[in-house]
Structure 1
């Protein structure tokens, strides 16, 4: 029998050897081998997508994903670099080119038109093509300047539809699903002005027009855009500087009354407790507006019953509600406040929002099957945050661990523009803020920036697409952003690509005849059909 002390010594030696060789060449060879095996065993899923869930991380560029990955690991006591966000484990990854037709660096309105509608729109326009410039009301009303979008495709196929966002429900990203507008700012009638005369504000389009009025689930913020005289209600005072209704209408009541006239049971909720109290089996439509403007940041959110539900809880409720449909569903989810924290150059808050967004993706995947549910995770655009310097492995991603040539520390996360430009000139040298005694991990810390701007700008580089489920392998390279909904259309057999047979993999299992087997007339019709598809 081996003495206990020898076992203890052996275990100690093995632990020491393992610690020294954790990431030696053998480690990385095994790591690559496992990944290669998984790739070789991957088979394309060519089922029809009964359900579609699209997650938009607003402003979630690749640097944000990398930093959030490290932040997540460090929150768990690890180095961080070696980990993954959940959606990074999806089998298919591609890149998306985000430019607007009239901008190298885009905004969230024109990009939303691209990934919801399948055609690119100009800067600050909603749901209309490049023949409409920002502020053009009458041009936006022209039917030839727009087409139906993903939500309408899904409803036409008998699917239930829903929107979940942490921004206002009338904000740019969700608005492009249901509205056609010459300007993203026309969220309520109080913002139309002279330029918008004759156009319908976005909030009214949501409540009065298809496809918005047919949505089964509407979760987000934006009560102020829907209700006039908000100060006279049970809600907090109006959001300063926001869009205020001038028509003395409460569109939430309009929404409720119209549903009840149809013999339906709609529910309006405004708190976590009200959301949790819903009987989804007895509910036909839900509108949940959890803020007068945007919903609170995750770190500032009131997590009590009278507060605001998390993005993850809203997604869970939405999926439960939409899953009642026998024909499947389409759900659009936006983590919108990733973007807002970046605009304020508060990096920790943006990374926190990204982790909550990732939690929602993980929950959605756990509640659905990869066999029949396509989940796409992407961003509308990036930001100008960079991960800089040469910090050693495992250093706090939010810290200031490095010393520059001027002898002062600098942060790993840095913005090329933003409000915190603490540079001065002493006549011979540029002097900058000394961060030695500053807590750069504080939630309210404003990251240093190179060029002064009151609000940091978007970035113009490509963003990532992560996909899991039926036909997710069609995300495979560098794509125009407008390609995204065409894949979804084909995968789910809805919309303009429902019967598309121009690709190599047609949905039908029957084999197509070769050119030599086709009659001259059949060949002529086939060529004409393919030419017609190119014009669609």
Structure 2
């Protein structure tokens, strides 16, 4: 080939590359065609789920996911908008309606009841239905006001169970297993330890005791999180001193971690209690039946503040990996709940960078779980309990620092942040007699870890948001997440996929055929007889005569 021809062809190729780098119509067509091919090649997986892993990003609303996606890309030197979080590539996506029966914008307690138990509960209640209001201890003990939840369903099916929480192990609202682990569900999310029970809760059992004394909590093979003060009385007299003055403190003199160990060992089981990364890594998982890891007196630390030495706290990723390795020993499979609890806490403080960092740590845990399991037999669901009131505002140029200040306002000539909260502690405005004056962001490092984003209303603590949250799913029967669902729909899909709980008696269907059962559960023989008669009658009526 002549040299001139080579140079002409090279120039054409460079021209194509240059054109595509500007994201012209060819670029977007190829992008769309590739995504369409993936969708067309995606076949529903109708295998029975052996393993179930549910990831809850506490407060991880869609604005948080979008901002975290951009933040991740910008950390890698890219514009950011074009990227994705690992779980955003899962084949099935839906939306979840998060409201409580008595609140338009929910709390983390009632939502936990929905996504763990399959029915909705009122604001500040745990594991009980809408017949129980917050603080009604007696009503919470009425059997008909609650039902078994996912962890119980899995245990009844012979699966091993566990939970890995990046917050307080028994923190209100973070896991229905903690609230439903006793025969008396908790009527209030704040009853984390006996100190908080008060007069209203004196006939109820605190959440920490439920976790170690009653099924399903005491049957869990893995319990990771924080909350040592909820479990251990007189903490200042232990290696975990000093106490956190703002956290619940046990008053009954008990060390529930030692009670837990004693109960396991008396049953002939191998159990380990750990409190540091080094202790966690020293556990021989092949010779261990149960493991409890409490890595903070109150909550576990934020990822950017975490002590990463051996004497510090393991990451959520390491907790998740350890849990999966231990639970995978059961040939019947496992159920694992993983929560990124501190996404929510950083949002309440309007510290956006910290919340986005926590979201990326959560993403890494999802990625590791997906790598350690098989798509063929493991259902992974990623969702949130609720959203927050953070928004992405203005018209920032492509690639603008998501944590930075955008262009100046045309009204007052001052810069404003791209991320903004509709309410929160940083309400920095004043009246100069003629107009409202905002705080000047010139010279302010809005990317700092401790920086609090501006807010529109003055609140001591930012609130939750009431919009729908996303559900991302992969694995057996994940295609049943397909539209806009009530949050309480989530465990029913899991029940169907794994044949546990309400759908334990369903045959291993290879189609999307429904299993008929009443609202009280699968029909009994007495219920099934008239149902069969009715079906015969209907079929006779529609026959041609």
Alignment pair present for 1:468 and 2:467:
no
> CA distance change for structure 1 residues 44 and 423 in 2, over 3 Å: closer, same or farther?
same
CA–CA distance in structure 2, aligned partners of residues 75 and 166 of structure 1: 23
Q: Deviations over 1:481-511 (max 9, x none)?
A: 0000000000000001223589972489xxx
Q: Is residue 422 of structure 2 the alignment partner of residue 416 of structure 1?
A: yes
Classify the secondary structure of the residue corresponding to 2:167: strand
Preserved CA contact (<8 Å) 1:298 1:310: yes
8 Å CA contact 1:490, 1:499 repeated in 2: no
TM-aligned CA deviation for residue 523 of structure 1: 4.4
SS in structure 1 opposite 2:423? Answer: strand
Name the stretch that deviates more: 36-45 or 424-433.
36-45
Which residue does 1:488 correspond to in 2?
Answer: 494
Instruction: Give the CA deviation at 1:7.
Output: 6.9
Q: Which residue of 2 aligns with 1:240?
A: 245
SS at match of 2:261: helix
- Counterpart CA distance in 1 for 2:537 and 2:300 is 51
Is contact 1:51–1:330 with CA below 8 Å preserved after alignment? yes
Provide the aligned C-alpha RMSD in A: 2.1
Deviations 1:141-197 (A, max 9, x none): 111110000000000000000000011111134441242100010000000001111
The reply to whether residue 524 of structure 1 matches residue 517 of structure 2 is no
Aligned residues of 2:308 and 2:314 also touching (Cα < 8 A): yes
Q: How many residues align?
A: 517
- For residue 404 of structure 2, the aligned residue among 393, 399, 406 is 399
Distance 1:2 1:433 in 2: 66
Find out whether 1:251 has 2:256 as its counterpart. yes
Any conservation in 1 of the 2:174–2:341 contact (CA below 8 Å)? no
The answer to whether residue 214 in structure 2 is matched with residue 209 in structure 1 is yes
How far off is 1:254 after superposition? 0.3
C-alpha displacement of 1:524: 1.9
Change (3 A) 1:425 1:330: same
Correspondence 1:103-118 to 2 at 5 A = 103-118=103-118
Residues 497-512 of structure 1: matches in 2 within 5 Å?
A: 497-500=503-506, 505-506=512-513
**1:11-43 Cα distance to aligned partner (Å, 9 max, x none):** 577445523333111111111111111111111
Structure 2 contact 416–441 (Cα < 8 Å) conserved: yes
Cα distance, 1:72 vs structure 2:
0.5
Aligned to 2:119: 119
Q: Answer whether contact 2:108 2:174 (CA < 8 A) is retained.
A: no
- How many Å separate the matches in 2 of 1:100 and 1:417? 21
Change (3 A) 1:173 1:367: farther
Q: Name the structure 2 match of 1:511.
A: none
What residue number does 1:94 align with? 94
Deviations 1:234-285 (A, max 9, x none): 0131111211111000000000000000001100000000001110011110
Q: TM-score, normalised by structure 1?
A: 0.93
SS in 2 for 1:170: coil
2-structure distance, mates of 1:393, 1:13: 28
In the other structure, the counterpart of 1:21 is 20
> Which is worse superposed, 469-478 or 235-244?
235-244
CA distance in 1, matches of 2:131, 2:418: 42
Give, in angstroms, the shift of residue 44 of structure 1. 0.5
Hey, what's the Cα distance between the residues in 1 that align with 2:108 and 2:510? 31
* Residues 1:435 and 1:15: Cα distance change in structure 2 (over 3 Å): farther
The residue correspondences of 1:435-446 to structure 2 (distance < 5 A) are: 435-446=441-452
Please give the alpha-carbon distance, in whole angstroms, between the structure 2 residues aligned to 1:174 and 1:412: 30
2:182 counterpart residue number: none
CA distance in 2, matches of 1:212, 1:397: 41
Q: Measure the CA separation in 2 of the matches of 1:297 and 1:236.
A: 19
* Whole-angstrom CA distance in 1 between matches of 2:187 and 2:94: 31
2:59 and 2:344 in contact (8 A); partners too: yes
Please list, as runs of the form range in 1=range in 2, the aligned pairs for 1:193-232 lying within 5 A after superposition. 193-232=198-237
Superposed, 1:443-458 pairs within 5 Å as 443-458=449-464
Map of 2:356 onto structure 1: 351
Partners of 2:172 and 2:404 in 1: how far apart? 33
**CA separation in 2, counterparts of 1:186 and 1:294?**
16
- After TM superposition, the score normalised by the length of structure 2 is 0.92
Contact 1:97/1:462 (<8 A) preserved: yes
1:57 and 2:57 equivalent?
yes
Aligned to 1:432: 438
The 1:12/1:52 distance shift into structure 2, 3 A limit, reads same
Tell me the residue number matched to 1:517. Answer: none
CA-CA distance at 1:6 after TM superposition = 9.5
Structure 2 counterparts to residues 251-330 of structure 1, below 5 A = 251-330=256-335
1:177 aligned counterpart, secondary structure: helix
Unaligned runs of 5+ in 1: 509-519, 530-536
Aligned 8 A contact 1:151 1:178 in 2: no
> Is the 1:173–1:334 contact (alpha carbons within 8 Å) kept by the matching residues of 2?
no
Q: Determine if contact 2:46/2:510 at 8 Å carries over to the other structure.
A: no
Report the counterpart of residue 131 of structure 1 in structure 2: 131
The C-alpha deviation readout for 1:452-482, integer Å capped at 9, x for no partner, is: 0010000000000000000000000000000
Aligned to 2:372: 367
